Amino acid sequence: MKKSIILILLCCGLAATAQPGDRETYIRDHYTKMERYIPMRDGARLYTAIYVPRDQKRKYPILITRTPYSLKPYGEKEYPGGLVPSMLFVKEGYIFVYQDVRGRWMSEGNFVDIRPHNPEKKSKTDIDESSDTWDTVEWLLKNIPSNNGKVGIYGISYPGFYASASLPGAHPAVKAVSPQAPVTDWFIGDDFHHNGAFMMIDAFTFYSSFGVPRPKPITPDQGPKPFQYYTQDNYKFYLELEPLKNVKARYFADSVKFWNELMTHGTYDAFWKARNIRPHLVNIKPATLVVGGLFDAEDCFGALHTYEALEKQNKGNINTLVMGPWYHGGWSGGTGGWYGESAEIFCDIKTDIYTSTWYQENIEFPFFQQYLNDKPDAGIPEAMIFETGSNKWRRYDKWPPENRIQKNLFFQEDGALSFTAPDKDLSYDEYVSDPGKPVPYDDGIHLQRTQGYMISDQRFASRRPDVMVYQTPELTEDITLAGPVIADLLVSTSGTDADYIVKLIDVYPDNYPDKGDIHLGGYQMMVRAEVMRGKFRNSYENPEPFNPGTITEVKYNLPDVSHCFRKGHRIMIQVQNSWFPLVDLNPQKFVDIYHADKSDFQKATHRIYHDKKNPSNVIVNILK
């Protein structure tokens, strides 16, 4: 649960190559591998690995994954330990295609991060990821004689973006596309920004290697090496970094192009808007299966909002959402209890629920079989959502579900939380936030950003004086939340900017039974959390300062939830102003944070109001 983001993304990009040897043997015995340069319309050639079943007695569908993480292992005699999405596809017989996208690894051309879609192509030089996918499909249909004329596209994370980008103006042979945890909007909610706040660990860890320029085609063994940290303590490393501008001065210089672009585009300007694929997801013909993890620290937003965009902009299109109890990519490549080796203990999930295997066998494989192999209707619902807490799958006709009622969880004095509005004339909590001593995002000492922070015990934070805690009495009945969660804070600050982090937490009873050596009594399981950079509270394009001491509304969406708070548990809300070093430090002064000086950082006194006139609350959706 403490692997680096780089390793996680690489594993999601192309099957885990460290699978058991019998899988490699099976693939070698049943597939012929070939590597080709496929020409694009502008003359660039993209390096592509193709695995064709040796049995040529029938024709097979094509399944494509386009990736910036390399199609390794390279060489026609080198076979991987698995082919994505799962061995179900391998044993059924598919033509698997993996491609280094333009400008990455062995492919020609220039790489552009989240290359903007171009709906107005007028010449062969007007290219985008949609056109590169089209040209690839066209070449495969003409040059791989054993294909059945039907194509599917699959990808997780960055490859999930390439799956989404294949949808606008898709080749007619593309019948089924599955964007999974797709990179979708890098300023509003995915990876490197959440609501305008800079997700520092992920951006630094990723671009310190991924962003190193490639002057010519290379294989991974010739590629950049991992960044060498001088400490294993990320809290110490980033705190000693001080202002964010020191990254360029001390480490990157001008070598990492996209880092410089991150530092230049500090608002939701044309640069970021062009990289939002959602407006282009119109007139979509292929069936779509959008997949995500409820505890995905990177692209939970992407899955939910890709599905939403497809649903709103394409009437009658076949569009399905699956959200399971997984970390980033946790539904692929294994049986999986759900969240790795510790989740069954920490989240009290039954060990006989193998959600990854269940999903692969009952959702993913039948979906592609139906549209690529003419198998019967898979009977997949509009939305298949796992409900944590009760630990069961739920089928919905739509997402968010219709059978829900919206209620407000109001903050009260003395740390209470209630569905009843406050009745005091003036009530607030006051505390000081110090950028020199920010609230950690997780307990313990870590180098890379942990996966497990999405469900980790929040008692370490609740004991700090700069974290405000509100909780209900013990619940007298189960309460199930399904759908959006909206933070609606009434606050004031002595500064002119501030971050606000709101966390929704399931508090276990003090007498909850232990699981082995793990003590679950009083465990504060984080169910959902999100940050809002306060200056963007009214507009991502036009940030505004706070007027010191003036009560101001800060209202924003957290990603959707599906969780049952069981009888005897409590619902807790925590509010804080730093989440370090997951999120970079806000100076609490209205400045360009990417170029701020050390002198810009200041302590600030914050108030959270909870009275009749200013009722801070969190809006939730409760299943009827």
Over residues 526-541, the mean pLDDT reads: 98
339 or 250: whose pLDDT is higher? 250
Question: Tokens standing for 553?
Answer: 């509304």
| Cα gap 519→521, rounded to integer Å | 6
The pLDDT of residue 10 is: 30
Q: Is the pLDDT of residue 613 over 60?
A: yes
The alpha carbon torsion through 255, 256, 259, 261 (nearest 10 deg) reads: 80
Q: How far apart are CA 19 and CA 32, in angstroms?
A: 19
Which of 12, 21, 151, 155 has its CA nearest to residue 79? 21
Return all residues near 500 (Cβ < 8 A) that are at least 6 apart. 487, 489, 491, 531, 532, 534, 554, 556, 575, 577
User: What digits encode the pLDDT tens for the residues 48-67?
Assistant: 999 999 999 999 999 999 99
Tell me the C-alpha distance between 399 and 379, whole Å.
17
Are residues 118 and 128 in contact, defined by beta-carbon separation less than 8 angstroms?
yes
Report the mean per-residue pLDDT for the chain: 93
231: which residues sit within 8 A by CB, 6+ positions away?
Answer: 237, 447
- Per-residue pLDDT, averaged over 166-173, amounts to 98
User: Could you give all domains of the chain from N- to C-terminal order, each with its CATH number?
Assistant: 5-184+277-396 (3.40.50.1820), 404-623 (2.60.120.260)
Residue 349 scores a pLDDT above 60: no
Q: pLDDT tens digits for 176-201? A: 999 999 999 999 999 999 999 999 99
Among 42-51, 447-456, 561-570, 576-585, the range scoring the smallest mean pLDDT is 447-456
Across-strand partners of 432?
A: 605
Whether 82 contacts 11, CB under 8 Å: no
DSSP letter assigned to residue 345? H
Question: Among 613, 604, 599, which Cα is nearest to 242's?
Answer: 599
The answer to whether residue 276 scores a pLDDT higher than 50 is yes
pTM over cut 0.85: yes
Q: Is the pLDDT confidence value at 7 over 60?
A: no
